[in-house]
């Protein structure tokens, strides 16, 4: 690739195109798309294939920060004051347990492992941070909703704020203990206060501007306003060295409590942030350094183990002491393990302030991030599924057509657009449906359990699924749009079978009937397909006929007749 001397625009195209394919594959493999994007970036980046030049990777820094800013803006928009008041009492106790457990276990564990005291303490501070973009975007992808999801959003914000604050306080304390820097302590404390205060003020003012502007303007202009305000505020934070993550969290929180159209603003943010999020994880994957992971060695492995233990045990203990639910005790901790941007940024600050201490810390963080960013999204998905907060529609992969069928559709429209003939004329009234019957539809057994129903749906391209008895006669239909609203609840789904999920059959058709008859039946029902059955008893299922196939035939015949 080096010989080609790719322009950065081509690099962007490669990252987005391959990420799109990887995201589609991830759906089939039941993996979070975030993981796929990270792996694509890592494979294409300097660590493996070197298709993406290192200088191009760093050229996307501003866009990546904007993507992170939009994620935090959106997170803040989810928490109006009334919701904060409902969640905070539980969240504070859990956060204190997690932060305390993580800081103590990582610091003490690494110190016993032979790492220096100062380095162990700073690594304990960095271990507090949780990757907000990774965590929040996986939750969005899953469309999870419930107490574990709500607490995860709050804890992600608290973790990063605590990591930044505790890191700076510990570093200031270390410098105060060092006689040659003790005189600078008051100045550094003042700068720290100004930095945090400035970030809060910038976020508050920016949020008010967005709320006021969106209230004054037509929605068509909101996207331009959001781009202008977020990019300006991000640039202001960079110029004044303010912690932009705090700024955008406050900005979203301000909008949530000063606008009656916050949900619509969040939708516009999703449009703006969707593409940037793909780029964020692809480029972030390219930045993952496999050599750093190897170089971290046993100490890096110990850090991974101690941090994981600290977060899981800290939340479990706090949840148990405060009487939280089984789902929160067991599954909130694993959802907090992703780690990336904030920890890396703080490690870079450590290198700038004290190179002799910071460089070993940076090596361990860069190496461990490779693990946490790959397994983090997988653990979040697993935790949300186990906690029962993911709708079926988000937990299984379901498509409406196969790649071959889509290729056929493209070819059909190419022929139609250039006016090529489609063969002998015929009318829909005398055309039997038999050539249109899809005979691969075997139906779902009445007694099929919930897991078997999901497996059937995942391998189907329809929205309607016939339920058949022992004689293969259709006794009901399961409809995906209705089923997709069911939540995973192990106590319920273990008792449910296909017959319980089925609704009555509104219409069936025989394979010797015509396309016109099929069209008449589709006018009476909302389903995307009709069961095709034998005329003789017990009217065994032969296959299905799709609404789209019938409509296509009618359109073709009408075009020829005209």
Bridge-based pairing state of the strands 541-546 and 474-479: unpaired
Segments in the chain below pLDDT 50? 1-3, 421-426, 487
Contact 2, 20 (CB under 8 A): no
- pTM of the predicted model over 0.75: no
pLDDT at 503: 85
Q: How many CB atoms lie within 10 A of CB 559?
A: 11
Residue 310, H or E segment:
helix 290-321
Residues 6+ apart with CB under 8 A from 152: 135, 139, 332, 335, 336, 380
Residues 6+ apart with CB under 8 A from 381: 31, 32, 138, 142
> Is omega for the bond preceding 538 within 30 degrees of 0, making it cis?
yes
Contact 388, 327 (CB under 8 A): yes
Question: In three state form, how does the secondary structure of 245-288 look?
Answer: HHHHHHHHHHHHCCCCCHHHHHHHHHHHHHHHHHHHHHHHHHHC
pLDDT at 1: 46
pLDDT at 321: 93
Radius of gyration of the chain (CA): 28
pLDDT at 244: 87
In terms of Cα–Cα distance, which of 132, 77, 149, 137 is closest to 278? Answer: 137
Task: Give the Cα separation of 91 and 328 in Å (integer).
Answer: 11
Reported as half-sphere exposure (CB side, CA atoms, 13 A), residue 237 has a value of: 28
CA 236: distance to chain centroid? 28
Q: What is the pLDDT of residues 389-412, one digit of tens each?
A: 776 656 665 555 566 666 766 676
Residues 6+ apart with CB under 8 A from 546: 436, 438, 462, 528, 529
pLDDT at 447: 87
Q: Which two tokens stand for residue 28?
A: 């089939």
In terms of Cα–Cα distance, which of 92, 157, 170 is closest to 126? Answer: 170
Q: How does DSSP assign 495-535, residue by residue?
A: T-BHHHH-B-----EETTSBHHHHHHHHHH---SEEEEE-S
pLDDT at 404: 66
3-state SS class at 444 = strand
Contact 547, 442 (CB under 8 A): no
Range 403-561: architecture per CATH: Roll (3.10)
Reported as half-sphere exposure (CB side, CA atoms, 13 A), residue 421 has a value of: 4
CATH class (in words) of the domain with range 2-390: mainly alpha
Helices (H), 323-402: 326-331, 341-353, 355-386, 392-395
Q: In the chain, where are the structural domains located?
A: 2-390, 403-561
Residue 193, H or E segment:
helix 185-216
Bridge-based pairing state of the strands 444-445 and 464-468: parallel
């Amino acid at each position: 690739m080096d010989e080609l001397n790719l322009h950065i625009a081509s690099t962007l195209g490669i990252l987005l195109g391959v990420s799109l394919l990887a995201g589609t594959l991830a759906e089939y493999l039941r993996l979070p798309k975030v993981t796929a994007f990270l792996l694509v970036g890592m494979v294409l980046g300097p660590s493996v294939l070197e298709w993406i030049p290192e200088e191009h990777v760093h050229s996307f820094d501003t866009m990546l920060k904007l993507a992170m800013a939009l994620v935090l803006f959106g997170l803040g928009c989810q928490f109006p004051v009334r919701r904060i008041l409902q969640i905070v009492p539980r969240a504070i106790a859990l956060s204190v347990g997690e932060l305390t457990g993580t800081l103590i276990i990582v610091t003490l564990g690494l110190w016993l492992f032979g790492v220096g005291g100062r380095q162990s303490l700073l690594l304990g501070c960095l271990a507090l941070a949780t990757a907000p973009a990774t965590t929040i975007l996986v939750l969005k992808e899953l469309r999870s909703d419930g107490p574990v999801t709500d607490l995860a959003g709050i804890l992600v914000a608290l973790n990063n704020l605590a990591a930044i604050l505790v890191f700076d306080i510990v570093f200031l304390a270390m410098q105060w203990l060092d006689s040659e820097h003790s005189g600078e302590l008051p100045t550094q404390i003042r700068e720290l206060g100004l930095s945090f205060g400035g970030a809060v003020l910038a976020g508050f003012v920016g949020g008010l501007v967005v709320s006021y502007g969106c209230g004054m303007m037509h929605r068509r202009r909101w996207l331009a306003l959001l781009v202008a305000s977020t990019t300006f505020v991000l640039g202001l934070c960079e110029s004044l060295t303010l912690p932009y993550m705090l700024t955008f969290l406050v900005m979203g929180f301000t909008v949530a409590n000063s606008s009656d159209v916050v949900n619509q603003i969040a939708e516009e943010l999703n449009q703006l942030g969707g593409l940037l999020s793909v780029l964020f994880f692809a480029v972030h994957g390219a930045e993952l350094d496999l050599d750093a992971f190897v170089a971290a060695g046993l100490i890096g492995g110990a850090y991974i183990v101690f941090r994981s233990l600290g977060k899981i045990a800290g939340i479990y203990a706090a949840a148990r002491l405060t009487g939280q639910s089984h789902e929160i005790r067991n599954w909130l901790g694993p959802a907090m393990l992703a780690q990336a941007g904030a920890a890396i940024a703080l490690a870079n600050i450590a290198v700038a302030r004290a190179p002799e201490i910071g460089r070993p810390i940076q090596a361990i963080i860069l190496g461990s991030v490779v693990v946490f960013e790959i397994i983090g999204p997988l653990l979040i998905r697993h935790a949300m599924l186990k906690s029962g907060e993911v709708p079926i529609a988000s937990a299984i992969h379901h498509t409406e057509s196969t790649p071959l069928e889509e290729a056929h559709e493209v070819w059909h429209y190419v022929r139609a657009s250039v006016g090529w003939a489609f063969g002998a004329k015929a009318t829909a009234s005398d055309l039997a449906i038999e050539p249109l019957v899809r005979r691969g539809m075997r139906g779902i057994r009445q007694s099929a359990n919930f897991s078997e129903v999901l497996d059937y749906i995942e391998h189907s391209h329809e929205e309607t699924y016939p339920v058949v008895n022992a004689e293969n006669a259709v006794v009901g239909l399961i409809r995906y749009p209705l089923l997709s609203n069911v939540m995973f609840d192990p106590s319920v789904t273990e008792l449910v079978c296909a017959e319980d999920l089925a609704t009555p059959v509104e219409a069936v058709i025989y394979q010797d009937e015509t396309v016109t008859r099929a069209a008449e039946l589709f006018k009476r029902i909302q389903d995307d397909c009709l069961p095709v059955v034998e005329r003789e008893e017990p009217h065994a299922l032969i296959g299905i006929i799709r609404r789209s196939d019938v409509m296509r035939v009618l359109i073709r015949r009408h075009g020829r007749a005209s």
